[in-house]
Structure 1
Amino acid sequence: MTANQQVLILGGSGRIGSSVAADIVAYTPARVLLAGRNPIAGEEIARKLGEKAQFVALELDALAPLHSAIAQSNLVIHCAGPFHHRDGRVLKHCIETGVPYLDVSDHRSFTQKALQFQTEAERAGVTAIVNTGIFPGISNSMVRRGVEWLDRPDRIHLSYVVAGSGGAGLTVMRTTFLGLQHPFEAWIEGKWQTVKPYSDRETVTFPSPYDRAGVYWYDMPETFTLPATFPVQTAITKFGSVPDLYNYLTWWVAKTWPNSWLQNRQVIEFLSTVSYKMTQVSDRFSGIGVAIRSEVSGLKAGNPATHCSTLVHENTAVAAGGGTGSLAQLILDGRLHKPGVWPVEAALPTDLFEETMQARGIKICDVNNA
């Protein structure tokens, strides 16, 4: 790894993109090029990050400038969400120019598009890892630890709870409501079954300060990448918010509002804006942290066993930056090279995951029952 390396972060002036940039500046000597549409925010973030950071105004639809910026970089990180309507142009440019690629995508449709480039990336020798960040991202690697601890995994139950805005911006609010638009397929008891978003509430016990919190089915990429990567019969992915009032409001929208409303961009923008304003008030009381609980059940030494791991972080956006930044560090250092397009759980070895999390002070606690 050298100081001459450059990392291009698309969406670098956003909350998640700037958190990824901060992690890279802290843990590598690489220069960071923050690309975005907001020069005021972008230049202020670059100033705070110091001499290793620079902002450049860049539109994803400006194909020639985009291709040029990618070609001049040693790594590209796509943080320009929401990813629901994004195509694979950034990944395609990376493959064509031989540049490694990471993203913080969090939607099934985008992940499916990205995975279609598997053969092209493998032939080009390009490492491309999707769904990095906190969830999906760190959460997926927590599941991998559980799968590897067991002799025969059978069931994955992955739950998240986020306090208020999570320290993220308006884009994350849009992502939440866009995820309510359609029922989705989940791998349950060895077959794909249709699930309604924000249904089947469960109360899950997380570490303090979240304790017992409500979580619901939610359409995330790991709902289908985890059973594709690991030989399990069931993969459950559920999400919830704190305060619990937000859960009930989101459930009410998902349950009662017509699909035509939820597929209207103006409605999504209205819901996102109102929710963000609400969290700006509640964040003062709830905080902006995140908790993850990964539970993998199966057999160990011929007996039923469960591997349970948990994580708590006081700032969701910072944790997401650490998840993506740790992968960037490993790629720039030449320690992670896996040509093709992969979800993070299929690309990141557990020993490297644990090493980078420990270096960042992100603590994962295990409670195993064998």
Structure 2
Amino acid sequence: MAGTSVPLKIFMVKASTDAEKVQLPEKTRNSRVLVLGGTGRVGGSTATALSNLCPDLQIIVAGRNREKGAAMVAKLRGNADFVRVDIDDKKSLETTLSEVDLVVHAAGPFQQTDNCTVLDAAIETKTAYIDVCDDTNYSWRAKSLKKKALAANIPAITTGGIYPGVSNVMAAELVRTAKSESEGKPKRLRFYYYTAGSGGAGPTILATSFLLLGEEVVAYSKGEKIRLKPYSGRLNVDFGKGIGKRDVYLLNLPEVRSAHELLGVPSVSARFGTAPFFWNWGMEAMTNLLPVEFLRDRSKVQQLVQLFDPWVRAIDGIAGERMSMRVDLECSDGRNTVGIFTHRRLSVSVGTATAAFALAVLEGSTQPGVWFPEEPEGIAIEARDVLLKRAAQGTINFVMNKPAWMVETDPKEVGLGIYF
């Protein structure tokens, strides 16, 4: 990883049953960390991971429901408390942020959100910031506040979850290593994601998935931006140990644009697939049968979520919540390297990944400003190795910079082949 000169280094992490404790610098060891959306699946998982990794941290669980908040606090070890926060109430939000050192914004969905209210409040109160945003427009709106964050001297990371987030850092390391070890130039980068069912992540993830079906997919082919239909372009991809081959489909995800612009890769795309297989059929059918206006209407999407959520939860009990992400980099000299990250439980892994970003900020790895995870100002190059190891705790398969031929099969195009 960072600093290595060994060709095609293979980086593997074995599963661990216990979280490895992190010793933070003296000045941040007892930091107060506010987790917005802390009573939800992603925020709750993040609060739990932070509490397990750093018992000295003071975790403030924020949400709207006191009963859920009290239940969450009771599960956490060490210093934890609950505070009721409405992120749409600017005054209340700023008052709460002024009393903490870092805010983790996990109160999604981020789709169709017009303002970066939490980041604005963090800048105003000079509070370090991370979000788990998975929306392209929101992430670049956050990025536009870079100068304000610099003036306030606060570090901020957008899209700092698992995917996007850890996947961005994996892509950055594949590109960095290729540039240092190969004469060819990075040519094509592809993100592949798989989650069984909803991944145990609850109705917010379900709402996000439905809202993404209403967004035209942006991908890049040989430097040109192309627009494609959501949940199209099916590929059969081998995710390796624990997952095997799965069908994945195009979605509009923020790491596509950030990787293209910040890592300088001409062709970039992202695909996602789920299980059981009929959920993929259902997503395709929704894209083909429902009007775009319907899928872009948050109130109507919430009605769909309420309708489907009981069925999803029931099937989740059978499907489990295994997740995997595979990042493929192709270079102009024929070099092809892969990163794979697989975990048995998305609901646990997403919290561990987000906590890894929070710890990086508390350790001083992030410069003032607003950054994507793949930017060295966001996660310093020398800190990427540590971040990936922390995020990969509990994985059943984590490999970096592995030659593509060592993964059982290459992706097989289904239908017309398109270069992106």
TM-score by length of 1: 0.94
CA distance in 2, matches of 1:337, 1:288: 32
Quick check: 1:106–1:131 contact (8 Å CA) kept in 2? Answer: yes
Aligned residues of 1:207 and 1:291 also touching (Cα < 8 A) = no
Pick from 245, 268, 289: which aligns with 1:256? 289
Residue type at the aligned position of 1:12: G
Deviation at 1:242, TM superposition (A): 1.1
Secondary structure, aligned partner of 1:215? strand
Residue 129 of structure 1: aligned partner? 157
User: Would the aligned equivalents of 2:32 and 2:100 in 1 still touch at CA under 8 Å?
Assistant: yes
Q: Distance in 2 between matches of 1:51 and 1:146?
A: 38
Question: Is 2:384 the counterpart of 1:356?
Answer: no
| Equivalent residue letter for 2:164 | P
Counterparts of residues 87-236 of structure 1 (less than 5 Å): 87-151=115-179, 152-236=185-269
* Partners of 2:211 and 2:295 within 8 A in 1: yes
**Contact 2:36/2:106 (<8 A) preserved:** yes
Identity %: 29
**Stretches of structure 1 lacking an aligned partner (at least 5 in a row):** none
User: Superposition pairs for residues 317-332 of structure 1, below 5 Å?
Assistant: 317-332=347-362
TM-score, normalised via structure 2 length: 0.83
Give the number of equivalent residue pairs: 366
Ranges in structure 2 where 5+ consecutive residues have no aligned partner? 1-24, 180-184, 406-420
* Local SS of the residue matching 1:84: coil
Structure (1/2) with the larger helix percentage? 1
**TM-aligned CA deviation for residue 337 of structure 1:** 2.6
Decide whether aligned partners of structure 1 residues 287 and 369 sit closer, same or farther in structure 2, where only a CA change above 3 A counts: closer
Question: Could you tell me how far 1:252 is from its partner in structure 2?
Answer: 0.7
2:29 and 2:168 map into 1 onto residues whose CA distance is 30
Query: How far apart, CA to CA, are the structure 2 residues paired with 1:297 and 1:358?
Result: 24
Deviations 1:334-368 (A, max 9, x none): 3x131111111112235423223334344521421
CA contact (8 A) 1:149 1:307 kept: no
Q: Which residue of 2 aligns with 1:16?
A: 42
The equivalent residue for 2:399 is: 365
* Matching of residues 239-250 of structure 1 within 5 Å: 239-250=272-283
**1-structure distance, mates of 2:91, 2:296:** 32
Q: Is the 8 A contact 1:144 1:350 kept in 2?
A: no
Match of 2:96 among 57, 61, 69: 69
Provide the secondary structure at the position in 1 that maps to 2:210. helix
User: 1:316 is matched with which residue?
Assistant: 346
* Mapped partners of 1:124, 1:58: distance in 2: 23
**1:274 Cα offset (Å):** 3.2
- Give the Cα separation in 2 of the matches to 1:212 and 1:79: 31
**Does structure 1 retain, via aligned residues, the 8 Å contact 2:156–2:366?**
no
